Structure formats: structure tokens, C-alpha cells
Amino acid sequence: MASFPYKTVLMIGATSGIGLALAEKMIENGCFVIASGRRQENLDALVTKYGAEKVAGVKFDITDLNGIPGFVESVTKAHPTLDCVILNSGIQRPLDFTQPASINLPMISEEFNTNYLAHVHLTTAFLPFLREASRPVSLIYTTSALALVPILRCGNYCASKAAMHHLILVLREQLRGSNVKVIEIMPPAVQTELHDEDKQPDIKNGRAMGMPLDEFTEEAWEGLCAGQDDIPVGMAKRMYDAFETKRQEVMGNLVKMVH
């Protein structure tokens, strides 16, 4: 198997789940990882486990949109060899329009902010630094199989991931021919705290839902090392093969027509 080509990686959303698992995989394969997230104790535990020569912890809440330019400036100044930014943070909440009184509109805004708007702000802030690099660099996004096909219980989450998926397709096309590679990882349901009952009371034993985290991590890592632009994993691969290839072909034809 080919090796992962990037050596200094910022993992946004590294305190648990997919972000933590991929961060550890990268550390164990020789990358220096800047781990970012909201929980200082989790970041400290990661640094303690691997050592400050292999990982740095930077506490930041990406929903602080006004703080993103300062965060990006601080990270890029401290780590000028940064060549890979992974935008992995995400939350999922239930949404049931059959019970309008149950809908928490501020939470809906927070979910869309976390899953979409913050990623737009982060991308905008990091691109000048990345574009100035004299080496190949990458932006990697974790979306979801639900970006392709929605389910009923978390419609806002599905919509936020679909919005991010479409933006990624546009970003990739706009940056084609530049030094910035745009990569999308599409997980199925994975056994992480995303589905914990304290966050989604309608789910019982949510940590057991979906693909085991270690299996997901291995498959995603294979795709990253193989240099794939799109990395659908598990059930997402079946959805991708069913129609996403065709949709991107149609998009490519539209791009040729319009430009």
C-alpha cells in the first residue's frame, strides 16, 4: 500500500470518535498531528500518550466563527510545515416535524453552524496559507453517507452534510490544477459518541450503532494512502456506486458547458 503523503496534519475534531482514531493512525504512521477540539483533557491525554514530539494539542471551538482567523494564524505560525487540514468536527441531533413543539431551533442553528458554516469559515481562512505553499497540500473533509441519502430522524444533519458535500465538489473543481488536493471521506454510521443518548435521547445504546470504529479507520486510511479524492466507506460505498459517480459526471459536463 502507498503511504500517506502529508507529514504535518491539523485534525479538527480530534477529541473523540473518527477524528481521534484517524489522528492516532496518522501519529503511528509518522505524521506530526496538531489535534484540535473543545475538550482540553482529551487533548492532554493524547499528548501524554504519544509525546509532544509527535502531537500538539490546541483547544478551540469551531462554532466561534469570529475566532477562526486568529486560530488559523496561530496554528500556521506555530506549524509552518502544515500540509494537511482535516475538518472532521460534527454533531447530530434529532428533528421531528410531526412534533413541532419538540424542535429546538437554537440547536438546529448550532448543528448547521458546526457541520457547515464553520467549515466554510475554516476553509476560507486556511486557503491563503495553503495556496502559498510550494509543496502539495490537502483539505480533507469528513461528511457522511447521509450527505448522499437522508434518513428521517435527523434531517438537519443530513442537510448540513449534503450542503458540505456539494460545496466540496465545487471547491475541488475550482482548485483543480492548484497545489491543494480536496478529499472527502464519507462514513456510514460508525460506533462513536455521535449517537450517545445524552445527545440524542431517541437513540438507545447508540454507541453500538453502525460500523466498528477500528474497521472504519482501516478502510478510510487505505483510501487516504491510495490518494483517492472520494473515500466512501462501508454502506456509503454502495450509495456512491449507485449514483454518485453519475452525478459527478453530469456535474463535469455542466462545468465544461458553462466554462
**Domain CATH number, residue 58:** 3.40.50.720
* 59: β partners: 37
pTM of the model: 0.92
189 or 200, higher pLDDT: 189
As a whole-number percent, the residues of the chain with pLDDT over 90 amount to: 84
What is the C-alpha to C-alpha distance for residues 231 and 233, in angstroms, rounded to an integer? Answer: 6
2 vs 194, which has greater pLDDT? 2
Q: How far apart are CA 3 and CA 125, in angstroms?
A: 28
Q: What's the pLDDT score for residue 196?
A: 47
Residue 71 lies in a domain: yes
> So what's the pLDDT on residue 166?
97
- For the segment 80-90, the average pLDDT, to the nearest whole number, is 95
Q: Is residue 3 included in any domain, yes or no? A: no
> Does residue 56 lie within any of the structural domains?
yes
Q: Residue for cell digits 483517492?
A: 228
The whole-chain average pLDDT of the chain stands at 92
Q: Domain range for residue 205?
A: 8-92+105-258
Would 140 be classed as within a structural domain? yes
Which among 114, 125, 126, 56 is positioned nearest to 85, based on CA atoms?
126
**Centroid of chain to Cα 100:** 30
Of the pLDDT bands very low, low, confident and very high (cuts 50, 70, 90), residue 2 is confident
In a domain, 98, yes or no: no
- Indicate the number of domains in the chain: 1
* 8 Å CB contact between 94 and 153: yes
Q: Is residue 97 part of a domain?
A: no
Give a yes or no: residue 1 inside a domain: no
pLDDT at 190: 87
Higher pLDDT, 211 or 7: 7
Q: Does residue 99 lie within any of the structural domains?
A: no
Cα–Cα distance between 186 and 137 in angstroms, integer? 20
